[in-house]
Amino acid sequence: MPPEGQATFLQHHFPDAPTQEHAARLGMWLFLATEVLLFTALFTGYALYRYLFSETFHAASKYIETSVGLTNTVVLITSSLTVALALHAARQGQGRRAAALLAATLAFGGVFMVLKGFEYHHHFVTGQLPGRFYAFAELAAPGAAMFFTIYFLMTGLHGLHVLIGMGVLGWLAGRAWRGDFSPAYHTPVELGGLYWHLVDLIWIFLFPLLYLI
């Protein structure tokens, strides 16, 4: 897109571009705050049941594979790096580089989901399922089924957000490749990046709280 076309991104009700950018950023952060509170409802359940069933949670945590969780943590942290670098590139006007970094971030998200898929499969096979579906005879203490309920609900909701984030990243990568972004206009990359960082942030808490009890 030619440089002159960049001015058309300014909407009529904003007095100038910096105000519009600031507004978009503030709006996105407020949305992230709502996501934090969405997960808080599940973290509350987690906190309560870990408090009530601390030994059982400790025992049940051994049955989810720490090395997979650790790998996934590294994957997401690295994906946060690539998306931050993508924004950096977009700011410099390096559209193709930004697109490549966004695609890399998406790929890391894919790796995360594949690893998670392997984990889930293992749980299905061994009967470590939520609630009334729990059929894992090796650990039958009160609270064991609840651990896996919490595990599936929290990682499930997190996984859903990873998928949504991957969709957003793919869309942004396409736009970056087409040259939609520039030093003057890169807000969508910034906002999409913020969403992806939140996905990473939530996992930063999920990993020790679920895998390292």
Partner 1 sequence: MAHATESAHRGKAHGAGRYVAVWVALLVLTALTYAVRRYDMQEPWHLVSALLIAVTKATLVALVFMHLWDHGGATRLAVLTSVAFAALLIGLVLVDNATRFPYANPPRAASYQDPAGAPRPPAPAGRAPAH
Partner 2 sequence: MSPSPASDAAASAPSYLTADRGMGSWLTTRDHKRIGVMFLVLTLTAFALGGLFAMLIRLELLTPGPTIMDAMTYNRMFSLHGIVMIFLFMIPAIPTVFGNFFLPLMIGAQDVAFPRLNLATVYMYCLGLGLAVYGMIQGGSDTGWTFYTPYSTTTTAVVWPVLLAGFVLGMSSIFTGINFIVTIHTLRAPGLTWMRLPIFVWSMYATSVIQVLATPVLGMTLLLVAVENVFGFGIFDAARGGDPVLFQHLFWFYSHPAVYIMILPAMAVMSEVVQAFSRKNMFGYKAVAMSSLGIAFVGFFVWGHHLFTSGQSTFASGIFGVLTMFVGIFTAIKVFNWTATMYQGSINFSAPFVYFLGFLFFLVFGGMTGIALATVSLDVHWQDTYFVVAHFHFIMVGSTIMAFLAALHYWWPKMFGKTYSERWALVAAVMVILGFIFTFVPLFLLGNMGMPRRYYSYPERFWPLNVAATAGASVLAMGLVVVLIYLVVSLVWGRRSAPNPWGSRGFEWNTPSPPGKENFPETPTFTHGPHEYQTPDEVKHAA
**Footprint on this chain of partner 1 (rule: CB under 8 A):** 15-16, 18-22, 25-26, 29-30, 32-34, 36-37, 40-41, 43-44, 47-48, 51-54, 66, 70, 73-74, 77-78, 80-81, 83-85, 88, 91-92, 140-145, 183, 190, 193-194, 197, 200-201, 204-205, 207-209, 212-213
| Residue 152 to residues 10, 94, 141, 211, Cα–Cα distance (Å) | 43, 40, 18, 13
Site membership for partner 2, residue 38 (CB under 8 A): yes
Which residue in 15, 67, 125, 137 binds partner 2 (CB under 8 A)? 15
Site membership for partner 2, residue 179 (CB under 8 A): no
CA–centroid distance for 6 within its chain = 30
Site membership for partner 2, residue 49 (CB under 8 A): yes
Specify whether the CB–CB gap between 164 and 61 falls below 8 A. Answer: no
Quick one: angle between helices 144-177 and 66-91, nearest 10?
20
Residue for token digits 């942004």? Answer: 172
Q: Which does 54 bind (CB under 5 to 8 A by kind): partner 1, partner 2, none?
A: partner 1
| Residue 8 to residues 20, 21, 188, Cα–Cα distance (Å) | 12, 14, 15
Specify whether the CB–CB gap between 89 and 189 falls below 8 A. Answer: no
| Residue 169 to residues 13, 104, 146, 184, Cα–Cα distance (Å) | 28, 10, 34, 20
> Sign of the C-alpha dihedral, residues 201, 73, 77, 121?
negative
- Which CB, 14 or 120, lies closer to partner 1? 14
Site membership for partner 2, residue 164 (CB under 8 A): no
- Which CB, 44 or 126, lies closer to partner 1? 44
Q: Which does 149 bind (CB under 5 to 8 A by kind): partner 2, partner 1, none?
A: partner 2
Residues within window 53-72 making contact with partner 2, judged by CB under 8 A = 53
Site membership for partner 2, residue 213 (CB under 8 A): no
- Residue 38 beta carbon to partner 2: minimum distance, rounded to whole angstroms: 4
Tokens encoding 55: 């030994």
Beta-carbon contacts of residue 115 (< 8 Å; ≥ 6 apart) = 68, 71, 72, 75
Cα distance between residue 71 and residue 61, in whole Å: 16
Site membership for partner 2, residue 143 (CB under 8 A): yes
Region of 42-50, 76-84, 184-192, 200-208 interacting with partner 2 (CB under 8 A): 42-50
Contacting residues toward partner 2, per CB under 8 A: 11-15, 19, 22-23, 26-27, 30-31, 33-35, 37-42, 44-45, 48-49, 52-53, 129-134, 142-143, 145-146, 149-150, 152-153
